[in-house]
Amino acid sequence: MNRSPLTILVVEDHPTIARQVVDFLDGMQWQSDHAASGALAIELATRENYDVVLLDLNLPDIDGLEVCRAIKTRAPRNVPVLMLTARDAFEDKARGFSEGADDYLTKPFDLRELALRCEALARRGQLHLDQEMRVGALTLLLRERRALYQGVPLALTHAGFKLLQAICSGYPHAVSRSTLMHALWGADPPDSDALKSHIYALRKQLESAGAPKAIVTIPQLGYRLSLDV
């Protein structure tokens, strides 16, 4: 079966299980990172963009449910979380889903089933991403072309929304002026003062919504989104 390459974060403290899963994913030509602790898992998931997080509930430092909650709250986008655990009681599964888990696989499991579930979650996550983009308290509803900060709508112009979307797409990195100008005007941009005017208006909107200094100027490059996530 042909599969599109996925990027997976494997959160598992048991070295044998972790190696089996990572080797299997590598054999499928998928990219995988491994975290043996909850703290490292949160750090990686909030810094990188993964298609799926495979999360063991029994971690040595932080309970897996707390890790799931932190990832869902702080990750740059709504990454799907597949919980891996020996806890098979209904109450355990209910708690997992209540903390944001997208799927649940009980140990021991078939690695082929794990791959199928990852693909299904990645497709679901991509569909969600096509409709919504989140960075911290900032949400962009792409199909509706609306933006909200802490749930409050921002009164953006069409150009303001396109500009914010381009800056959010580059998060946490800076986006060059040329990239932003192309996003607004295509291959025939006006002078750079027009971009500065749109940046100024966007900053004022974010400031009035409670996000001062949300867009940072990076000298000689462009602009970067700076939000607590």
Q: Which residues pair with 122 in a beta bridge?
A: none
State mean pLDDT over 85-96. 77
Is 160's pLDDT higher than 50? yes
Q: Residue 92: exposed, middle, or buried by beta-carbon count in 10 A (0-12, 13-18, 19+)?
A: middle
Q: What are the residue boundaries of the structural domains of the chain, listed by start?
A: 7-126, 136-225
Q: How distant, in Å, are the alpha carbons of 10, 11, 16, 72, 122 from that of 52?
A: 9, 11, 21, 12, 6
Which of 12, 171, 134, 16 has its CA nearest to residue 83?
12
Architecture of the structural domain at 7-126: 3-Layer(aba) Sandwich (3.40)
pLDDT of 47 higher than 50: yes
4 vs 141, higher pLDDT: 141
pLDDT, tens digit, 9 for 90 and up, residues 143-159: 788 999 988 899 999 88
Q: Which tens digit of pLDDT belongs to each residue from 4-25?
A: 689 999 999 999 999 999 999 9
228 vs 56, residue with greater confidence? 56
Query: Residue 39 and residue 127: Cα distance in Å, rounded?
Result: 29
CA proximity to 225, closest of 157, 159, 155, 173: 173
- Across the range 201-224, mean pLDDT stands at 91
Q: What is the pLDDT of residue 1?
A: 40
The class level of CATH for 136-225 reads: mainly alpha
DSSP state of 104: E
